[in-house]
Amino acid sequence: MRESFGHAIDGLGHLIRTQPNFRIHLALATLVALLATLLRFSAQEWALLVLTIALVLAVEGLNTGIEIAVTLASPERRPEAKAAKDIAAGMVLLAALAALIVGALLFIPHLQAIF
């Protein structure tokens, strides 16, 4: 079990070190969490926010894993490899758009109350 956690930590480290998009998502998640702290989100709001952030980061990580695996399996250019990579990237876009909607639904009422 300890070894499994080590591999998982190694994977996260690889994402942070090598994937600019993952770092961007992580930086935005940090800023969003800081704003949620300042706005004193409720436990329910935090739960939804954490799940949304985790979804985006997880899908970004899966996208990277799929891209690496497809490149290893098919180093030559093939339409099927491109489709697999494009679909994985599309799922990141879908998760990010959903996160924007969730963020708007969570943050706008708090911001309107201030202004």
pLDDT in tens, 36-85: 999 999 999 999 999 999 999 999 999 999 999 999 999 999 999 999 99
Domains of the chain, each with CATH number or no CATH: 2-114 (1.10.287.3610)
Catalytic residues: 60
User: What is the value of pTM for the model shown?
Assistant: 0.93
Is 49 exposed, middle or buried (CB count within 10 Å of its CB: 0-12, 13-18, 19+)? buried
DSSP tag of 76: S
What whole-number percentage of the chain has pLDDT above 90? 95
Do residues 92 and 60 touch, judged by C-beta distance below 8 A? yes
- pLDDT of 105: 98
Residue 2's pLDDT band, with cuts at 50, 70 and 90, is: confident
